[in-house]
Amino acid sequence: MEKAVTIGTFDGVHRGHRLVLDTLKKEARKRGLEPVAISFDRHPLELVAPQRAPGNLISTKRKAELIRREGVAPLILPFDEKLRGMRAYEWLDHIHRKYGVRLLVAGYDNTFGSDGIDMSIADYKAMGDSIGIEVVAAPEEEGISSSAVRKAVKSGDIAKATAMLGHHPELEGRVAPGFRVGHEIGFPTANLQVSPTAVMPAPGVYAALAFIEDADEGLPAMVNIGYRPTFKGTAKESRHLTVEAHVIGSDMELYGKNVRLEWAARLRDERKFGSVEDLIAQLQRDREETLGSIKN
- Beta-strand pair 170-176/219-226: unpaired
**CA 180, CA 231: separation in Å to the nearest integer?**
12
* pTM of the shown model: 0.93
Q: Over the chain, what is the mean pLDDT?
A: 93
Residue 268 lies in a domain: yes
Give mean pLDDT, residues 15-38. Answer: 98
| Model pLDDT, residue 206 | 98
- Span 218-250, pLDDT tens digits: 999 999 999 877 777 676 667 789 999 999 988
Kindly state whether residues 64 and 8 are assigned to the same domain. yes
Nearest to 172 by CA among 241, 254, 261, 62: 261
Q: Which of 95, 112, 146 lies at the terminal end of a domain, its last residue? A: 146
Nearest to 209 by CA among 118, 295, 281, 268: 295
Kindly state whether residues 140 and 188 are assigned to the same domain. no
**CA 97, CA 101: separation in Å to the nearest integer?**
7
| Model pLDDT, residue 41 | 95
Segments forming the whole domain that contains residue 279: 168-295
Kindly state whether residues 45 and 176 are assigned to the same domain. no
pLDDT classification of 184: cutoffs 50, 70, 90? confident
Backbone phi and psi for residue 125, each to the nearest 5 degrees, phi listed first: -65, -40
| Model pLDDT, residue 183 | 75
Give mean pLDDT, residues 12-24. Answer: 97
Residue 174 lies in a domain: yes
Kindly state whether residues 10 and 65 are assigned to the same domain. yes
| Model pLDDT, residue 117 | 83
Kindly state whether residues 181 and 275 are assigned to the same domain. yes
| Model pLDDT, residue 296 | 64
Q: If DSSP codes are grouped into helix, strand and coil, which group holds residue 5?
A: strand
Mean pLDDT is lowest, of 2-16, 57-71, 282-296, for: 282-296
| Model pLDDT, residue 107 | 86
Give mean pLDDT, residues 244-273. Answer: 92
Q: What one-character DSSP code corresponds to residue 292? A: H
**Residues 154, 202 contacting (CB under 8 angstroms):** yes
| Model pLDDT, residue 237 | 63
Residue 112 lies in a domain: yes
**Residues 189, 179 contacting (CB under 8 angstroms):** no
User: Domain of 181: which CATH number?
Assistant: 2.40.30.30
Kindly state whether residues 136 and 175 are assigned to the same domain. no
Give me the number of domains the chain comprises. Answer: 2
Q: What one-character DSSP code corresponds to residue 66? A: H
Kindly state whether residues 120 and 16 are assigned to the same domain. yes
| Model pLDDT, residue 22 | 98
Kindly state whether residues 140 and 213 are assigned to the same domain. no
Kindly state whether residues 196 and 131 are assigned to the same domain. no
Kindly state whether residues 31 and 131 are assigned to the same domain. yes
Residue 106 lies in a domain: yes
User: Domain of 34: which CATH number?
Assistant: 3.40.50.620
Residue 157 lies in a domain: no
Kindly state whether residues 125 and 22 are assigned to the same domain. yes
**CA 261, CA 70: separation in Å to the nearest integer?**
21
Kindly state whether residues 142 and 211 are assigned to the same domain. no
Give mean pLDDT, residues 164-172. Answer: 98
Instruction: Name the percent of the chain lying above pLDDT 70.
Output: 97
Q: Which of 146, 177, 200 lies at the terminal end of a domain, its last residue? A: 146
Residue 156 lies in a domain: no
| Model pLDDT, residue 240 | 83
The gap between the terminal CA atoms of the chain, to the nearest Å, is 44
pLDDT classification of 109: cutoffs 50, 70, 90? confident
Q: What one-character DSSP code corresponds to residue 119? A: -
Q: Which residue has the higher pLDDT, 82 or 116?
A: 82
Q: Which of 97, 113, 146 lies at the terminal end of a domain, its last residue? A: 146
Residue 47 lies in a domain: yes
Backbone phi and psi for residue 150, each to the nearest 5 degrees, phi listed first: -60, -45
pLDDT classification of 150: cutoffs 50, 70, 90? very high
Residue 163 lies in a domain: no
Distances (CA, A) of 115 to 10, 18, 123, 124: 21, 27, 11, 12
